[in-house]
Amino acid sequence: MSERRRKAQYVTEFRIVFTAVMLVALTLLPLPAHAQDSFFKGGWTLQPDGSSLRFQSVKNLTKVESSRFVELEGSIDETGAAAIHVFLDSVDTKVDLRNVRMRFLFFETFQFPEAVITARIDPAQLTDLKTLKRKIIPLTYELQLHGVKKSFDTEVAVTYLSDDLVAVSTTAPISVAAADFSLEEGIKKLEEAANVVIVPSATVSFDFVFARKTGGEKTVTAAAQPTAAKGPASKALEPEGNLDPKACKGRFEILSRTGHIYFPSGSARLDARSGPLLDSLVDIISRCPGLVIEVGGHTDSDGSAAANLRLSEHRASAVTQYLISKGIPENRIVSVGYGETRPVAPNDTADGKHRNRRIEFVVVE
């Protein structure tokens, strides 16, 4: 064999060996994220029956109470974008009237029916989850509650349950302050209603289980209007059908404390913002058959006593007419104005005057 042919053969063999080595090396390198199947390929749907969202509150400095939300809806799309809707009417404190206080006085669900949690989980962080089974990852999420949005950083544990099931859980309770979501007034209303002192923050923990979509499930987004929030079914713990007299009386007392019936200053014209609360009242009166409800109007002490009496009568009448227009029989409502004669707070501060300008609902028979 000539020297020239030997050199050519050597070059050819070198190229073959080099190519083989490079192919082996490339197979050992991790694929770029865009070349891999996303961990969330096809999307995932929250499994409410296997998921939980709980919060712990402290009253009278030492008593810890644990509550939960019964109705949740959520999903994770292929990019790892997650959205969880929490239906606040489903709050479960294990006590019926306490649930009602939480709905109407604290969360004000007639105006803010749900909380929304959104986050983005990087699928690239989970490529080894099937091998590790459980992995703790950092997470930035946004909580929308009571008309306020706020971002937080935390850690979550992602657990591989099967090829089609994964769990996302808190690694430690998350502290949420009432002041961050304009809920301080709600704390004060709860304290007055239950005659307790409440720490103005809570700790939240969750364990969300997601199943891989098999087709047909919808993707839940932060802007979606989930079906569970649209009707009475969202009130998971509200007893169905008629209420007993004790439950009715307790509800009317609670609704009297909301402060969400609005009139322009010096006027008896109902503000449209009053509608959501009054519509809730219509539902409750309808479920308390046989009871006659007094609608009582009250004012502060500014102005003359005679003028305040007339104003309170006209405001009570405006509420009464609204209820009648929504189908409540006229003979089930008594409209009364008390003027400034029954204050619930001193009239020497703006806050006291605000509390005295109110509409109350009581069972008269």
User: When comparing pLDDT for 24 and 204, which is higher?
Assistant: 204
pLDDT of residue 231: 41
pLDDT of residue 229: 39
CA–CA distance, 185 with 292 (Å, rounded to integer): 30
pLDDT of residue 25: 41
Give the pLDDT confidence of 124-138 residue by residue, as tens digits.
999 999 999 999 999
pLDDT of residue 240: 79
- The whole-number average pLDDT for the span 59-74 is 95
CA–CA distance, 47 with 73 (Å, rounded to integer): 8
Mean residue pLDDT of the chain comes to 88
Give the pLDDT confidence of 233-285 residue by residue, as tens digits.
344 467 778 999 999 999 999 999 999 999 999 999 999 999 999 999 999 99
Give the pLDDT confidence of 29-39 residue by residue, as tens digits.
443 434 346 78
Per-residue pLDDT band for 214 (boundaries 50, 70, 90) equals confident
- Place domain 44-234 in its CATH homologous superfamily: Lipid/polyisoprenoid-binding, YceI-like (2.40.128.110)
Q: Which residue has the tokens 């969400």?
A: 260
Q: Which fold has domain 245-363?
A: 60s Ribosomal Protein L30; Chain: A; (3.30.1330)
Least confident residue range of 37-41, 115-119, 331-335: 37-41
Q: Is the pLDDT of residue 219 over 60?
A: no
Per-residue 3-state assignment (H helix, E strand, C coil) for the chain: CCHHHHHHHHHHHHHHHHHHHHHHHHHHCCCCHHHCCCCCCCCEEECHHHCEEEEEEEECCCEEEEEEECCEEEEECCCCEEEEEEEHHHEECCCHHHHHHHHHHHHCCCCCCEEEEEEECCHHHHCCHHHHCEEEEEEEEEEEECCEEEEEEEEEEEEEEECCEEEEEECCCEEEEHHHHCCHHHHHHHHHHHCCCECCEEEEEEEEEEEECCCCCCCCCCCCCCHHHCCHHHCCCCCCCCCCHHHHHHHHHHHCCCCCCCCCCCCCCCCHHHHHHHHHHHHHHHCCCCCCEEEEEECCCCCCHHHHHHHHHHHHHHHHHHHHHCCCCHHHEEEEECCCCCCCCCCCCHHHHHHHCEEEEEECC
- The whole-number average pLDDT for the span 13-24 is 47
Q: Is the pLDDT of residue 1 over 70?
A: no
pLDDT of residue 100: 96
Q: Is the pLDDT of residue 216 over 50?
A: yes
Instruction: Judge contact between 154 and 170, C-beta under 8 A.
Output: yes
User: When comparing pLDDT for 238 and 225, which is higher?
Assistant: 238
Q: Is the pLDDT of residue 22 over 70?
A: no
Q: What is the pTM of this model?
A: 0.83
Query: Percent of the chain having pLDDT more than 90?
Result: 80
Give the pLDDT confidence of 278-309 residue by residue, as tens digits.
999 999 999 999 999 999 999 999 999 999 99
Dihedrals φ, ψ of 330, to 5°?
A: -60, -30
CA–CA distance, 267 with 312 (Å, rounded to integer): 10
First to last CA, the chain: 119
Give the pLDDT confidence of 340-354 residue by residue, as tens digits.
999 999 999 999 999
pLDDT of residue 11: 47
- The whole-number average pLDDT for the span 168-189 is 97
- Within 10 A of 259 (CB to CB), how many other CB atoms are there? 16
**Domain ranges in the chain?**
3-30, 44-234, 245-363
Distance of CA 10 to CAs 5, 13, 18, 359, Å?
A: 9, 5, 12, 99
